[in-house]
Structure 1
Amino acid sequence: MLQSNQTKDKQGAEEEKEIKGKPLIASVIIFLGLGILVLAIGASVSIGAADIKLSTVWQSLFQFDAASTSHQIIQRLRLPRAIGAALIGASLAVSGAIMQGMTRNPLASPSIMGISAGSLFMMAIALAFFPHSSSFSLTIFAMVGAGFGACLVFGIGSLSRGGLTPVKLALAGTAISLLLDSISTAIGIHFDVGKDLSFWYAGGLAGVQKESISLLLPFTAIGLILALLIARSVTVLSLGQEVAKGLGQNTTAVRVIGTITVLFLTGAAVSVAGLIGFIGLVIPHVTRFLVGLDYRFIIPCSAVLGALLLVIADIAARMINQPFETPVGAVTALIGVPFFLYLARNEGRRL
């Protein structure tokens, strides 16, 4: 028994040594990514049905003129939308990174694991039975729904023979997502709230305003801080539960905090922008490829890259079919669906 424990400890130590991040590359990604993100936000504010010069954007920020229509558009509509896109993109990317690290499942993400669908399901219930709910109440409903969706997926997935393999968990997530989406649609039709739900189904940023940012910012900040605090623990947990326990990791505590973090980030994002899929799937994989397997680097880099991706996707959504808007969820799906199929095919070969 002692020899077995010593072997496990030695194996865990060896695997922990292998998980080396790339701090220099991570620093470049963070600082360069933030710089590009600022430029992308400027472009997002400038581009629209009526293009606005960047000089006007600058003036609206530091020399606001209430009598200027352009300044009003920037401050009330376009700037909150761009900032909201950055916050939501960061939230979804970090949620996916944490889920993939905790479950050791490369297919894990809020949109695939039923978390986003669960949030939408509870929002449908809120709109049908509590029509006068505040924005804060809707966010709480979305977080509860995220937890409900996750419990259903992991509960059903655990009943399958052979345990929770990545593909089986993805299939369970897809099935539960379709079920919850169908029930949400039925609720929307029966209680005549389908028009209200259609916004969240499409996944868009057109409705993001200053009030939305005031609601989104504290939840995102808390979620990102929690994610950074457990980053090292998620790295150890990604080695496997047995190895993590051998290294003295309190795996239960890490999973609980990680789950709360995901619910905060995903619930707030869905309550503001609806179903925007695949950012939480694609970005963590790209980040791990660039900076290694240390989540102390993966989480902040995922936040920056996720924010940048959604801001650029939102710009593309407005330019594809001008003067009409394409749902930004459709733009992210164009990237995410082929990537998901590629991952599912690779994981299927390992089963």
Structure 2
Amino acid sequence: MNSTVTPNNNLPSLHIPKRFTLVLIICLVALVIVVLASLIFGARSVRFHELIDGLFYSHIDSYEANVVRKRISRTVFSLLCGAALGVSGALMQAVTRNPIADPSILGVNTGAALFVVCGIAFLNISTASQYIWLALAGAAITAVFVFGIGSMGRGGATPIKLVLAGAATSAALASLVTAIMIPRSYVMDQFRFWQVGSVGSATWSGITTFIPFLIIGILVAFMTAPALNALALGDEVATGLGVRSGVLRLIAALAGVLLCGATTALAGPIGFIGLLATHVIRLLLGPDLRFVIPMSALSGAVILTISDVIGRLIGSPGELEVGVVTAFVGAPILIILAMKAKVRSL
């Protein structure tokens, strides 16, 4: 029976880095802190005893307790979206062997956005499940297109060609989104808040719709991690270790698109989380994807949730959308990474 990786002893055995336990503890502590901050801070901050009332005493019907309960779904949603984007970034960097690959940089987010706005404008869609399927289709088609364009010419799909293809595709698709929205004011009203990326409209029904896609994507990421480590050594070496490179790339890319597309459908095109989360973990633990993938999920959840809290505090008494905060922080970091890495392959 064929499989992506044949069961042999040539693949690297699991060696836990000495710093893994320390980094795991730090991430878990940070996760607890950002969850508490997300529940406490906002346009109306609450005290600790009011937080306890809202979480554990359902009979208390005070304004503060209801504020806490309302923030629970938002906090859970931001954690799940951050985890999905962190894992998606790790997969896309591994598949393309590009250290600055990210759903937003490769144009996948914009492709998902285009299909969603087309659905709003021409199909009158309005539910989370409809958003998800359209966003997944747009993300998948865009990913295939960008990889196809980046693979043309001499040298195949090099990191710099993929980034340039992604940037050009993203710009073209963004123009199409604008062209569709401008003559249709009702589409613009419905789309404009979603477009900047936000977790503020989180609902339990949306979270329930999102969770199956998250589970499938992360499971596939875990299953392909050992083979992706072999792929980082080069296609010829990976083939010698029993890895079917083409099949592996397809499966891992589909998992990344699934995670990114589902997140984009419900939260909008939030950028740079996959880039930031993965690079922080790789800096601390090294390139082994068996550790990078799960820890990128944790760090992505922390980064997105704290960005949401920062947006609420900066924009008080309103709020600054989380997509704006992540772009403001992520853009200069991307420039620094590009300068240091010189866009070399992983």
- TM-score > 0.5, shorter chain as reference: yes
How many aligned residue pairs are there? 336
* 1:169 corresponds to 2:162: yes
Look up the SS of the partner of 1:323 in the other structure.
coil
Q: Partner amino acid for 1:242? A: E
**1:60 to partner: Cα distance:** 2.3
Q: Is the 8 A contact 1:115 1:149 kept in 2?
A: yes
Look up the SS of the partner of 1:275 in the other structure.
coil
1:319 to 313, 318, 329: 313
Alignment match, 1:67? 61
Q: Is the 8 A contact 2:86 2:297 kept in 1?
A: yes
- 1:133-152 aligned at under 5 Å gives the runs 133-152=126-145
**1:62 to partner: Cα distance:** 2.3
Alignment match, 2:124? 131
Alignment match, 1:5? none
**1:289 to partner: Cα distance:** 1.4
* 1:188 corresponds to 2:181: yes
**1:66 to partner: Cα distance:** 6.3
Alignment match, 1:328? 322
Look up the SS of the partner of 1:23 in the other structure.
coil
- 1:85-234 aligned at under 5 Å gives the runs 85-192=78-185, 193-234=187-228
Select between 138-147 and 160-169 the one with higher mean Cα deviation.
160-169
Q: Partner amino acid for 1:326? A: L
* 1:84 corresponds to 2:77: yes
Cα distance in 1 for partners of 2:289, 2:15 equals: 8
**1:316 to partner: Cα distance:** 0.7
Alignment match, 1:258? 252
Unaligned runs of 5+ in 1: 1-12
Q: Partner amino acid for 2:170? A: S
Q: Is the 8 A contact 2:46 2:64 kept in 1?
A: yes
Cα distance in 2 for partners of 1:348, 1:215 equals: 40
TM-score normalised by L of structure 1: 0.89
RMSD: 2.1
Q: Is the 8 A contact 2:96 2:157 kept in 1?
A: no
Q: Is the 8 A contact 1:107 1:167 kept in 2?
A: no
1:54-81, CA deviations, whole angstroms, 9 ceiling, x for partnerless residues?
3322232222126333333322x31111
Select between 39-48 and 329-338 the one with higher mean Cα deviation.
329-338
TM-score normalised by L of structure 2: 0.91
Alignment match, 2:6? none
Alignment match, 2:4? none
Identity %: 38
Q: Is the 8 A contact 1:93 1:283 kept in 2?
A: yes
Cα distance in 2 for partners of 1:162, 1:252 equals: 17
Unaligned runs of 5+ in 2: 1-9
Q: Is the 8 A contact 2:27 2:299 kept in 1?
A: yes
1:236 to 219, 225, 230: 230
